[in-house]
Amino acid sequence: MRSVLRYGLLGLLSEGPASGYDLAQRFKTSLNAVWPVSHPQVYTELVKMASESLVTVDPSGTRGRKVYAITASGKTEVQRWLTSSDIDRTLRSESLFRVFFFWLMKNEDLHQHLEQEKQYFTTQATRYQAIGKAKENGEYGMGPSVASARLAVEAGARLYGALAEWAQWVIDNEDSKETGQGR
């Protein structure tokens, strides 16, 4: 099952033509949170897609820009992906991976780590809440793609909110053990 990069690019191009640089930037500012990509990856994939005529290239943009546009077969391809039901639903996370090995950490180090994690999660949660508010106030325009992004942001806010609460729960658990309240 091929990576989602291709479909992300086709999805972004569905909003209108853009250069590789544009696409890499837009990946970095929004999609990066759930699927990081690097710019060489974007450029090479665009070339590949052009050779499969999923996109067209107009190399006459200003400042050497190459403007890509989605084709009809590109549109069918992204549609096919969106309606295909074989999704990899794994939630990959190095943070959660570490949790399995908390028992190897010294109490002191673990406590510090948990505080950091909680800090990070709450920051992210409030950040996404703020972005969500801003999107509702139309600060990003009001196209259909913005409405979808709003949904994604809401998911982020809820996820990081849940993780922040979880971190607090773990900290409380630790404390009750140490003070012997559970005896």
Partner DNA sequence: ACGGGCATGTAAGCGGTTACATGATTCG
Partner DNA sequence: CGAATCATGTAACCGCTTACATGCCCGT
Q: Rounded to whole angstroms, how far apart are CA atoms 169 and 166?
A: 5
- Of the candidate residues 11, 17, 21, 122, the single one contacting DNA (CB under 7 A): 21
Q: Which H or E element spans position 138?
A: none
- Of the candidate residues 99, 130, 134, 142, the single one contacting a copy of itself (CB under 8 A): 99
Residue 154 interacts with a copy of itself (CB under 8 A): yes or no: yes
Q: Rounded to whole angstroms, how far apart are CA atoms 113 and 106?
A: 10
Residue 43 interacts with DNA (CB under 7 A): yes or no: yes
Long-range contacts made by residues 43-50, C-beta under 8 angstroms, separation at least 24? Answer: 45/5, 45/6, 45/9, 46/9, 46/20, 49/6, 49/9, 49/10, 49/74
Residue 182 interacts with a copy of itself (CB under 8 A): yes or no: no
- Tell me which residues touch a copy of itself (CB under 8 A): 4, 7-8, 11, 14, 30-31, 33-36, 78-79, 82-83, 85, 87-105, 109, 113, 116, 120, 144-145, 147-149, 151-152, 154-156, 158-159, 161-163, 165-166, 169-170, 173
